[in-house]
Amino acid sequence: MSSSQSAGASQRLSALSRQFSSTPSTQFEVKKLGVIGAGQMGLGIALVAAQKAQVPVTLVDNSQASLDKGMAFADKLLAKDVSKQKISEEIAKATRDRLKPTTQMSDLSDVDMVIEAVPEIPSLKEKIFAELAQVCPKHAILATNTSSISITRIARATSKDPTDTSASSRVVSTHFMNPVPVQKGVEIISGLQTSPETQAAAIAFCEKMGKVASVSVDSPGFLANRILMPYINEAIICLETGVGTKEDIDNIMKTGTNVPMGPLTLADFIGLDTCLAIMETLHAGLGDSKYRPSVLLRQYVDAGWLGKKSGKGFYDYK
């Protein structure tokens, strides 16, 4: 990065930090939320919003099977919290009653905010945001949970006319950390078009969900994955090139850096398809060979061994 680029980035960051540190008590209130994608992230976001922010949540997925699986998982998590006396049966029931699963995007016509959590495929996110700009109310915050795709690019998809920012100014990233019911952190990323009011409203809602927000500029991988994914990728390269076994790779990082799980286990939990997509975005966006995805990672994805969600990744989960 040249010194002028670096100066530009730090100016944008300090402008964002100023907005963040002086976040106004925004008037914007999310009374109803929409979540798209009932996979591991979408389901977690919907559940925490229903329980902590206590808002009704319309949960959209184009697969009825995914919705059924997601709702069964929500029931299981709530029952576990009741049995551990973390929540009462009344709270569990009220939370469950706030979740409304549907396969219809048109059911998002009355939400104040929507959080998209479909797979990390740029063309899919663009298609969904073009549709959201039409379906959602004109005041609604349009948030994405993308791990690495440019927010500016996703926001651009909301209108054929790039000078019309009526929808793109309402696009922001709320990048929740996995698993959402457990991790406190959320990254808030604004695209070039995002208004300060949108950013403030997104932060306020995440705080209502009990999360702690960190702000970053719209740069490939943002903060969390710019740091985390090259670490995971390097662990996979160590496995690929025989530097160590999967157990030794995970053990040394677990016992040596005090993390709860090693990088290969973590990759299995994140999903190897998601890890590959993020590395590809870092590689393409930053153009540096140090971000080249591991050959082995690509082969695991080609084999359909996507980690915990598919029953097999670096470890077996069946």
Ligand X SMILES: NC(=O)c1ccc[n+]([C@@H]2O[C@H](COP(=O)([O-])OP(=O)(O)OC[C@H]3O[C@@H](n4cnc5c(N)ncnc54)[C@H](O)[C@@H]3O)[C@@H](O)[C@H]2O)c1
Q: Which is nearer to ligand X, 94 or 177 (CB)?
A: 177
Among this protein's residues, is 139 annotated catalytic? no
Q: What does the radius of gyration of the chain's CA atoms come to, in whole angstroms?
A: 20
CA–CA gap between residue 305 and residue 238 (Å, rounded): 19
Identified binder of ligand X from the candidate list 112, 120, 250, 268, rule CB under 6 A:
120
- Of 66, 147, 150, 216, the catalytic one is 147
| 8 A C-beta contact, residue 314 and residue 265 | yes
Within 8 A by CB and 6+ apart from 169, the residues are: 155, 193, 194, 195, 198
Interface with ligand X includes 174 (CB under 6 A)? no
Q: Which string of x and - marks every residue 253-292 that binds ligand X (by CB under 6 A)?
A: -----------------xx--x------------------
Determine if residue 289 is labeled as part of a ligand binding site. Answer: no
Q: Which is nearer to ligand X, 145 or 294 (CB)?
A: 145
- Of 148, 173, 175, 219, the catalytic one is 175
Least separation in angstroms between CB 25 and ligand X: 28
Interface with ligand X includes 233 (CB under 6 A)? no
How many residues form the binding site for ligand X (CB under 6 A)? 26
Least separation in angstroms between CB 168 and ligand X: 19
Tokens of 141: 């915050």
Among this protein's residues, is 225 annotated catalytic? yes
Residue 244 to residues 249, 252, 271, 305: CA-CA distances in angstroms?
6, 10, 22, 21
Nearest to 121 by CA among 146, 143, 104, 141: 146
Among this protein's residues, is 147 annotated catalytic? yes
* Most distant CA atoms of the chain, gap in Å: 57
Q: Is 271 left (phi over 0), alpha (psi -120 to 50) or beta?
A: left
Least separation in angstroms between CB 62 and ligand X: 4
Pairing of strands 185-190, 171-176: antiparallel
Determine if residue 61 is labeled as part of a ligand binding site. Answer: yes
The partner residues of 189 in beta bridges, in order of sequence, read 173, 216
Least separation in angstroms between CB 3 and ligand X: 32
Interface with ligand X includes 150 (CB under 6 A)? no
Determine if residue 109 is labeled as part of a ligand binding site. Answer: no
H or E stretch covering 19 = helix 3-21
Q: Which is nearer to ligand X, 263 or 271 (CB)?
A: 271
Interface with ligand X includes 218 (CB under 6 A)? no
HEC profile of 34-93:
EEECCCHHHHHHHHHHHHHHCCCEEEECCCHHHHHHHHHHHHHHHHHHHHCCCCCHHHHH
Q: Which string of x and - marks every residue 95-114 that binds ligand X (by CB under 6 A)?
A: --------------------
The stretch among 35-43, 164-172, 192-200, 286-294 that binds ligand X (CB under 6 A) is 35-43
Give the 3-state secondary structure of residue 222.
coil
Q: Which is nearer to ligand X, 108 or 200 (CB)?
A: 108
Q: Which is nearer to ligand X, 155 or 196 (CB)?
A: 155
Give the E-state strand segments of 132-184 in sequence order.
141-144, 171-176
- Which residues are documented as binding site for NAD(+)? 37-42, 61, 120, 125, 147, 178, 309
The residues annotated with a catalytic role in the active site are 147, 175, 187, 225
Residues contributing to the site for ligand X (CB under 6 A): 36-42, 60-63, 66, 117-120, 124, 145-147, 175, 178, 270-271, 274, 309
